[in-house]
Amino acid sequence: MRCVAVFVGINHASASGFDNNIQLSLTLAALSIGLWWTFDRSRSGFGLGVGIAFLATVVTQLLVYNGVYQYTSPDFLYVRSWLPCIFFAGGITMGNIGRQLAMYECKVIAEKSHQE
């Protein structure tokens, strides 16, 4: 739950007003790395976050380039600069949720097998 709360905070911070986009991007990048460091710290989690951030940003870029979607004011190469940070934090959060669900399922299966 804390990881989800931090992700919601990062998402909310991306919508708040900063003086410039570099400050916003650096703040969100630091918060996203902090989310990974606090709740995951695994190489696979970091790789998952970076991979999701890269692929999702590329897909978003393709949608913008083809006119399916557009930004009111793009920052860098027609993409909002904070977008990869949000995707990275979302990948870490979803990975942690999946890990917790898998651990719960293993615990339930182990308890059922002991009762029989």
**pLDDT tens profile 36-51:** 999 888 898 899 899 9
Q: What is the domain count for the chain?
A: 1
List the domain range (segments joined by +) for residue 75: 44-114
DSSP bridge partners of 79: 76
**pTM score of the predicted model:** 0.78
Q: Looking at the predicted structure, is the pLDDT value of residue 110 above 90?
A: no
Confidence of residue 89 (pLDDT cuts 50, 70, 90): very high
Question: Looking at the domain assignment, is residue 38 inside a domain?
Answer: no
Question: Looking at the domain assignment, is residue 31 inside a domain?
Answer: no
pLDDT given for residue 114 in this prediction: 60
Q: Which has more confidence, 32 or 11?
A: 32
Which two tokens mark 12?
């909310």
**Cα(82)–Cα(113) distance, integer angstroms:** 47
Question: Looking at the domain assignment, is residue 95 inside a domain?
Answer: yes
Question: Looking at the domain assignment, is residue 9 inside a domain?
Answer: no
Question: Looking at the domain assignment, is residue 81 inside a domain?
Answer: yes
- Provide the 3-class DSSP secondary structure of residue 69: coil
Question: Looking at the domain assignment, is residue 34 inside a domain?
Answer: no
Average pLDDT over residues 82-110: 84
Q: Looking at the predicted structure, is the pLDDT value of residue 87 above 60?
A: yes
**Cβ–Cβ < 8 Å for 16, 82:** no
Question: Looking at the domain assignment, is residue 93 inside a domain?
Answer: yes
pLDDT given for residue 116 in this prediction: 56
Q: Looking at the predicted structure, is the pLDDT value of residue 54 above 90?
A: yes
